[in-house]
């Protein structure tokens, strides 16, 4: 299995330890590539060239394209991030913004429908505080076409230093992360959920509507036409 990991922090702290609890048992038998904030793009400047023409022309394409190619090559996508101000870190949010052009409503890729994803978050406080941060990531992953998305939210009321947690607490967290990792790699191949199918159908109707109104197909229209999802002149 190929696994692509998007890390929201470079710090070797609590989030790192939880992520390693997930990935550690998988490292010897699976191909894993990881990206960190230093690998991610600057914030979207709003030039819209990705929507109007091609994502490869984005001013940040040199950063975004290698990550997107790794996502496309992966069977499992892991997003691991601490929670900052009830949200995800800025570098990770900037990357997700650049991926909007790949959403089903614009230019989806069929390969995304068979991928799995896991969102790992760590926050100071009760786990429910991580929900808003997880929601941003899950929204992007689901609109990219992924139906199978698991969440692991850890709330550390005890503090911010991993070594300060009791041994039992650390073992419990790592066991939980390991179990989710094992379930992901041992599960059947993922497929489209009913929700994803309905979203895709809705987006197809939107593309047909736009195509009727324009004499020249948009870049999104061409993407759908090239894949046989809609027909020119419909």
Domain ranges of the chain: 2-192, 193-234
CB-CB contact of 142 with 192 (8 Å) = no
pLDDT in tens, 2-12: 999 999 999 99
Q: Taking residues 103-120, report their average pLDDT.
A: 96
Q: What is the mean pLDDT of the chain?
A: 93
| Cα-based distances in Å from 125 to 5, 72, 163, 165 | 25, 34, 17, 14
d(CA 157, CA 180): 22
Residue 233, pLDDT score? 66
89-98, 102-111, 159-168, 204-213: least confident range: 159-168
Residue 34, pLDDT score? 98
Q: Which CATH number fits domain 2-192: 3.40.50.360, 3.40.50.1820, 2.120.10.30, 3.30.70.20?
A: 3.40.50.360
Could you tell me whether strands 31-35 and 76-82 are parallel, antiparallel, or unpaired per DSSP bridges?
unpaired
For residue 152, pLDDT over 80 is answered with yes
What pTM did the predictor assign?
0.94
Full DSSP string of 151-211:
EEEEE-TT-S-GGGS-HHHHHHHHHHHHHHHHHHHHSPPP---HHHHHHHHHHHHHHHHHH
List, in order, residues 6 or more apart from 189 with CB less than 8 Å away. Answer: 114
Would you place residue 21 in the very low, low, confident or very high pLDDT band (cuts 50, 70, 90)?
very high
Residue 186, pLDDT score? 84
Tell me the torsion sign for CA atoms 100, 101, 107, 110.
negative
Residue 234, pLDDT score? 58
Structure tokens at 174: 């790592």
159: alpha, beta or left? (left if phi > 0; alpha if psi -120 to 50): left
pLDDT in tens, 173-222: 999 999 999 998 888 778 899 999 999 999 999 999 999 988 789 999 99
Residue 40, pLDDT score? 94
């Amino acid at each position: 299995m190929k696994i692509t990991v998007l890390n929201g922090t470079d710090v070797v702290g609590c989030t790192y330890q939880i992520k390693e609890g997930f990935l550690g048992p998988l490292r010897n038998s699976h191909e894993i590539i990881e990206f960190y904030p230093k690998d991610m793009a600057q914030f979207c400047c709003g030039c819209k060239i990705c929507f109007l023409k091609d994502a490869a022309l984005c001013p940040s394409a040199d950063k975004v394209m290698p990550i997107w190619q790794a996502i496309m090559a992966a069977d499992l996508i892991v997003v691991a991030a601490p929670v900052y101000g009830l949200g995800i870190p800025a570098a990770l949010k900037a990357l997700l913004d650049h991926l909007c052009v790949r959403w089903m409503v614009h230019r989806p890729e069929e390969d995304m429908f068979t991928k799995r994803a896991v969102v790992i978050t760590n926050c100071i406080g009760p786990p429910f505080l991580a929900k808003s941060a997880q929601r941003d990531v899950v929204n992007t992953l689901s609109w990219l076409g992924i139906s199978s998305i698991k969440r692991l939210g850890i709330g550390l009321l005890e503090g911010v230093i991993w070594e300060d947690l009791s041994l039992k607490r650390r073992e419990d967290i790592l066991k939980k992360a390991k179990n989710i990792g094992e379930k992901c790699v041992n599960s059947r191949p993922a497929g489209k959920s009913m929700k994803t199918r309905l979203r895709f159908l809705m987006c197809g109707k939107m593309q047909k509507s736009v195509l009727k109104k324009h004499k020249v197909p948009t870049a999104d229209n061409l993407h759908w036409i090239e894949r046989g999802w809609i027909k020119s002149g419909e």
